[in-house]
């Protein structure tokens, strides 16, 4: 049985709040979810291919040709709710080509029944997909019943049935992502060294930020062993000459011992590779930062989100501004680059609170900063508030999934786009900041990245019409 796994483009994501001008130059990173599924299937002897249309910049016609030429028995497509249109397009093409179709990804936890209402989708998977996908394929191959497969969404008697989401407890049991099936040379990030790739050392997130969509995987925090993590790091450095690894855990520094063990294992082996990760300012300390730097950490990405205490509380972020200041100072003292995320235009924001965020960003003075307009994603507290306040009418995302809405979600505060533009220009076009970054230029590749970023800010443009 031949299996094709697809990540289609996100051209139809009309609700992205990252400026289009910056989105074009930020780069593309690997689809870890389907790469993990592929590795599990290969281990069981199945022939698997991955089509990363986003990384390959494929047009719709090119995706169609590849699906037809592959002639796969089963086609699986991953998606987020915001990019569901392209996923549906790929699934319809696969069904027309005679394949059994399966859809997965974080989106299925939000609208499983609505998604399976399309007649060209046979199955869906909710939760972690590696082993439910394998169980489904085996059941189809052996003509066995499927209704008891954990995480499966299926149709029977004209109804859509949703089984309980699957969560795998022992992460060390899952083989490394099928890196060899991905176009590794195509992955890049405007902030990183090249070649670059991503990894995770844990799954799950116990925090309840108001703007974040919680997946079934978030219910239980689990970590991989230090040996397992560093084994994978060694593999991708050796086989793919990767110079930087970007950890994409939701809460990388949640368990201090976990990070200490990984750092000590890197140092014990003498592994030389740069890496970076997300972090929270409420679960890190100076001693840990120094150890991380010694083990190769070059950058930490902190979700600060707002420079206004009232908005931080509304976000349920669980941090305060003095805490952020202290940790940013620690990080700089440890010799690690800082990257700060900020959200502009959160519900109930005022011009003054947005000014406070811009001012605080400059006061923190991270090496890099990203400003995005608040997006009320489905099944989030922010979405509920936006509906309650009449800023979002009806269940926008449900109607979007069903193809009943072609409009973008409105901004939650007036002129949010202008405030984001102001934030970027105010932060990045400070003379002292420009001089500091120019001193860090090490060759043409770095200069081009800085040039592309500056051009993206100067030519600032948001995608879609959110007014």
| Per-residue pLDDT tens digits for 253-283 | 999 999 999 999 999 999 999 999 999 999 9
Write out 219-287 in H/E/C secondary structure.
HCCEECCHHHHHHHHHHHHHHHCCCEEEECCCCCCCCHHHHHHHHHHHHHHCCCCEEEEEECCCCCCHH
Which tokens go with 55?
A: 């990384």
Which tokens go with 236?
A: 């991708």
Query: Cα–Cα distance between 179 and 233 in angstroms, integer?
Result: 12
Q: What pLDDT shows up at residue 455?
A: 65
Query: Cα–Cα distance between 224 and 348 in angstroms, integer?
Result: 40
Which CA distances in Å does 122 have to 37, 53, 154, 279, 305?
18, 22, 7, 39, 40
CATH number of the structural domain spanning residue 22: 3.40.50.2300
39 inside domain: yes
Side-chain-side CA neighbours of residue 435 (13 Å): 3
Residue 385, domain extent: 188-458
175 inside domain: no
H or E segment at 62?
helix 60-70
Same-domain check for residues 217 and 288: yes
- Number of structural domains found in the chain: 2
143 inside domain: yes
Same-domain check for residues 211 and 74: no
- Tokens 């991380």 belong to residue: 292
Q: What pLDDT shows up at residue 23?
A: 64
Q: Is 248 helix (H, G, I), strand (E, B) or coil?
A: coil
Q: For residue 47, what are the β-bridge partners?
A: 2
Same-domain check for residues 389 and 446: yes
Same-domain check for residues 220 and 136: no
H or E segment at 454?
helix 444-458
Q: What pLDDT shows up at residue 140?
A: 97
Q: Kindly give, in sequence order, each residue whose CB lies less than 8 Å from that of residue 238, ignoring residues fewer than 6 positions away.
A: none
316 inside domain: yes
290 inside domain: yes
Please tell me the total number of residues recorded for the chain in this structure: 467
Same-domain check for residues 151 and 246: no
Residue 272: exposure state from Cβ atoms within 10 A (0-12, 13-18, ≥19):
exposed
What DSSP character marks residue 177? P
**Other CB atoms closer than 10 Å to residue 466's CB: what's the count?**
19
In the chain, which residues have pLDDT < 50? Answer: 465-467
**Closest of 68, 48, 59, 50 to residue 9, by C-alpha:** 59
Same-domain check for residues 313 and 405: yes
Q: Kindly give, in sequence order, each residue whose CB lies less than 8 Å from that of residue 65, ignoring residues fewer than 6 positions away.
A: none
Side-chain-side CA neighbours of residue 449 (13 Å): 18
CATH number of the structural domain spanning residue 417: 3.20.20.70
DSSP 395-445: -HHHHHHTT---SPPPPSSTTHHHHHHHHHHHHHT-HHHHHHHHTT--SHH
173 inside domain: no
- Indicate left, alpha or beta for 460 from its phi (over 0: left) and psi (-120 to 50: alpha): beta
Q: What pLDDT shows up at residue 60?
A: 92
Q: What pLDDT shows up at residue 38?
A: 98
**Cα 69 from chain centre:** 30
Same-domain check for residues 305 and 447: yes
Contact between residue 375 and residue 345 where contact means Cβ atoms under 8 Å apart:
no
Same-domain check for residues 212 and 145: no
- Tokens 């997965």 belong to residue: 104
**Closest of 201, 302, 294 to residue 245, by C-alpha:** 201
Tell me the pLDDT tens digit for each residue of 29-69.
999 999 999 999 999 999 999 999 999 999 999 999 999 99
What is the distance in angstroms between the CA of the first residue and the CA of the last residue of the chain? 49
What mean pLDDT, rounded, does the chain reach?
Answer: 93
**Closest of 90, 87, 118 to residue 104, by C-alpha:** 87
Same-domain check for residues 36 and 121: yes
Q: What pLDDT shows up at residue 126?
A: 97
343 inside domain: yes
For 234-325, list the strands marked E by DSSP. 244-247, 274-279, 297-305
Same-domain check for residues 195 and 155: no
Contact between residue 201 and residue 70 where contact means Cβ atoms under 8 Å apart:
no
Same-domain check for residues 309 and 384: yes
Query: Cα–Cα distance between 279 and 301 in angstroms, integer?
Result: 6
Same-domain check for residues 232 and 354: yes
152 inside domain: yes
Tell me the pLDDT tens digit for each residue of 192-216.
888 999 999 999 999 999 999 999 9
Q: Kindly give, in sequence order, each residue whose CB lies less than 8 Å from that of residue 348, ignoring residues fewer than 6 positions away.
A: 311, 314
């Amino acid at each position: 049985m031949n299996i094709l796994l697809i990540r289609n483009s996100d051209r139809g994501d009309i609700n992205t709040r990252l400026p289009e001008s910056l989105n074009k130059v930020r780069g593309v990173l690997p689809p870890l979810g389907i790469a993990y599924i592929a590795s599990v299937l290969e281990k069981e002897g199945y022939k698997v291919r991955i089509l990363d249309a986003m990384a390959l910049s494929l047009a719709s016609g090119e995706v169609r040709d590849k699906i037809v030429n592959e002639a796969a028995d089963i086609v699986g497509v991953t998606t987020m709710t915001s990019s569901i249109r392209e996923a549906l397009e790929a699934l319809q093409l696969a069904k027309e080509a005679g394949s059994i179709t399966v859809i997965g990804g974080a989106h299925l936890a939000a609208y499983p029944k609505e998604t399976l209402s399309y007649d060209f989708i046979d199955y869906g998977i909710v939760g972690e997909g590696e082993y439910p996908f394998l169980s489904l394929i085996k059941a189809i191959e052996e003509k066995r019943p499927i209704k008891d497969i954990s995480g499966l969404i299926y149709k029977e008697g004209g109804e859509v049935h949703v089984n309980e989401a699957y969560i795998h407890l022992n992460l060390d049991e899952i083989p490394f992502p099928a890196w060899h099936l991905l176009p590794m040379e195509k992955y890049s990030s405007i902030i990183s060294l090249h070649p670059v790739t991503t990894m995770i050392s844990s799954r799950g997130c116990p925090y309840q930020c108001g703007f974040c969509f919680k997946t079934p995987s978030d219910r239980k925090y689990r970590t991989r062993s230090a040996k397992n993590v560093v084994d994978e790091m060694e593999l991708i450095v050796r086989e793919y000459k990767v110079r930087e690894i970007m950890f994409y855990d939701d809460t990388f520094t949640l368990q201090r011992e976990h990070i200490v063990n990984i750092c000590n294992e890197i140092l014990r082996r003498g592994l030389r590779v740069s890496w970076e990760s997300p972090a929270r300012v409420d679960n890190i300390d100076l001693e840990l930062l120094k150890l991380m730097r010694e083990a190769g950490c070059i950058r930490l990405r902190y979700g600060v989100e707002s420079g206004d205490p009232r908005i931080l509380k509304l976000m349920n972020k669980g941090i305060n501004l003095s805490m952020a200041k202290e940790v940013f100072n620690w990080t700089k003292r440890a010799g690690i680059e800082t990257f700060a995320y900020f959200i502009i235009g959160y519900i109930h924001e005022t011009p003054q609170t947005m000014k406070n965020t811009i001012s605080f960003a400059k006061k923190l003075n991270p090496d890099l900063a990203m400003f995005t307009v608040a997006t009320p994603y489905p099944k989030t507290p922010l979405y509920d508030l936006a509906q309650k306040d009449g800023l979002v009418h009806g269940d926008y995302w449900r109607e979007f999934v069903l193809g009943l809405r072609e409009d973008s979600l409105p901004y939650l505060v007036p002129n949010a786009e202008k405030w984001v533009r102001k934030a970027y220009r105010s932060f990045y076009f400070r003379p002292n900041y420009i001089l500091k970054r120019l001193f860090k230029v090490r060759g043409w590749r770095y200069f081009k990245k800085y040039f592309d970023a500056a051009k993206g800010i100067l030519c600032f443009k948001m995608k879609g019409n959110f007014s």
